[in-house]
Amino acid sequence: MQSRWGSLRAKVFPDHWSLLFGQIAFYSFVVLVLSGVVLTLQYEPSTAPVVYDGPYGPLRGTEMSRALDSTLAITFETRGGLLVRQIHHWATLIMVAAITLHLLRLFFSGSYRRPRRLNWLVVFSLLIVTLGAALTGTSLPDDMASGTSLAVLDGVLQATPVIGSALSYLLFGGEFPGNVLTWFYPLHIVVLPLLIVALFVAVAVLALKHSPKRAKRKSPVAAVKSAGLFCFVAGVSVLMAATATINPVWLYGPADPADTSAGVGPAWYLAFLDGSLRLAPGWEVVWWGKTISLAVLLPVAACTLFLVIVAVYPFLEERLIGVPKDQSERPRDNPTRTGIGVAGITFYGVLWAAAGADTMALQFHLSVNTLLRVFQVLLIVGPPAALWITRRICLGLRQQDKDVAEHGIETGRIVRLPSGGYVEDHRPSTRQLTAR
């Protein structure tokens, strides 16, 4: 029998909750466009210096760019300006989280396989383009936090052998910090959003192509439900923006390439890149008379390889394991794939946690060097251990399913046999065995 909570949940969210992440991502994008248009009315993408003369006392008299000056004006001088900025930022976080969860659902249910391999690639590209939009967006206020992340980006580019300096010159439109805002701005408000729209259209077209005929007939009820979800996503963004401060640029002050403030780190979705830089050993090699630092090259290569493997996983799996039957599976039905997924999450998670090593060391009175050493070991040992443990758990669950299918479900009712022995009564199970 369905529990009370189960039937209430089915009424409020009639579709399985895990199927809603794609829609949540789309609706947070709509919120981003709406709030972004409002921000463009006042924001000025200029690095021309001005002296701050606004109502925020601690910064009065400080030299800063027009970009930060206009961001502070939106924050302190425009009614509802801070709310709109925070809605824009919170919606970014919701969108990145929703696309990531959508990808995880596709992975663990095996829904990336033929004929849906292209869909996987499109959703993955959507995540990367959204990260690009988030990165260019957080650079726009030109505050200390955005300046620091751009300085790290410049450092990484400069450490790339042969083409590093040229790449940095190209990105920053000259020597760092260059005039990055002038071309990040159109990229942020036009190019990347248009690309995101194109990718959403591609996802919808592919979904329509692969869904059964029955599901294609959308009823007006589905449209109302979908509109309700939009209101829910917009409502949560506004609630978060109204109650929780995010990106308080007035506390960070203006960007300065020669300066950085403690405790300023990258946004959570880019933290794994920062973590990888922290965990890399400071090795150096000399090639053709040139000293090359592996401290940057190694983590950049590892993260790139990780992302490439995620992108091409459906093709890789098909090549290594063969063409699977197209049917959605529960994670336990494919223990190896589920194990690989959890190993990937562990790899990402360790890099992510390592980005906060200094804060953890400070809070728990630990040595930051010891912590980084522990994370280095975890990065190597963690993923294979996670793969093994997850496989064992899946195999155990499959065995349990098999027992239930063969012997039925335990009822807890003990009956006495004519021979005098006692056995537990089992009720027949209607569950199908899908395990391969």
Angle of CA points 162, 166, 167, to nearest 5°: 100
CB of 188 to ligand HEM, least distance (A): 6
Q: Which position among 110, 137, 177, 331 is part of the footprint of ligand HEM (CB under 6 A)?
A: 137
CA 329 to chain centre: 23
Of residues 95 and 106, the one with the C-beta less far from ligand HEM: 95
The binder of ligand HEM chosen from 12, 37, 205, 433 (CB under 6 A):
37
Measured from the CB atom, the residue of 133 and 157 that comes closer to ligand HEM is 133
- Hey, what's the torsion of the CAs at 98, 102, 107, 111, to 10 degrees? 180
Backbone angles phi, psi at 428, to 5 degrees: -65, 145
Residues binding ligand HEM: what is the number (CB under 6 A)? 27
100 binds ligand HEM (CB under 6 A): no
DSSP state of 17: G
CB of 238 to ligand HEM, least distance (A): 15
The least CB distance from residue 132 to ligand HEM, in Å, is 8
How many Å apart are CA 54 and CA 61, to the nearest integer? 9
Contact positions with ligand HEM (CB under 6 A) in 359-388:
none
In the complex, what is the shortest distance from the CB of residue 114 to ligand HEM, in angstroms, rounded to a whole number? 30
Task: Return the H-helix or E-strand segment holding 105.
Answer: helix 81-108
Tell me, rounded to whole angstroms, the distance of Cα 425 from its chain centroid.
48
Q: Smaller CB distance to ligand HEM: residue 133 or 371? A: 133
Examine residue 189 and tell whether it contacts ligand HEM (CB under 6 A): yes
Please report whether residue 29 would count as binding ligand HEM according to CB under 6 A: yes
Long-range contacts of 345-349 (CB under 8 A, 24+ apart): 345/104, 345/386, 346/382, 346/383, 346/385, 346/386, 347/306, 347/379, 347/382, 347/383, 348/272, 348/306, 349/382
- SS3 of 276-308: the string is HHHHCCCCEEEECCEEEEHHHHHHHHHHHHHHH
Q: For ligand HEM, which is the closer residue by CB, 131 or 151?
A: 131
Q: How many CA atoms lie less than 13 Å away from 392 in the CB half-sphere?
A: 5
Site residues for ligand HEM, 105-134, by CB under 6 A, read 130, 133-134
Is 82 in contact with 75 (CB distance < 8 Å)? yes
Contact between 88 and ligand HEM per CB under 6 A = yes
Q: Which of 27, 66, 85, 356 touches ligand HEM (CB under 6 A)? A: 85
Residue 347 corresponds to which amino acid? F
Taking CB under 6 A as the criterion, the residue among 109, 168, 237, 247 binding ligand HEM is 247
| Part of the chain binding ligand HEM (CB under 6 A), chosen from 115-123, 185-193, 253-261, 411-419 | 185-193
140 part of the interface to ligand HEM, by CB under 6 A: yes
The contact pattern for ligand HEM, residues 292-331, with x = CB under 6 A and - = no contact, is: ----------------------------------------
| Short-list 104, 108, 113, 107, CA closest to 318 | 113
Give residues in contact with ligand HEM (CB under 6 A): 29, 32-33, 36-37, 39-40, 43, 71, 74, 85, 88-89, 92, 95, 130, 133-134, 137-138, 140-141, 188-189, 193, 196, 247
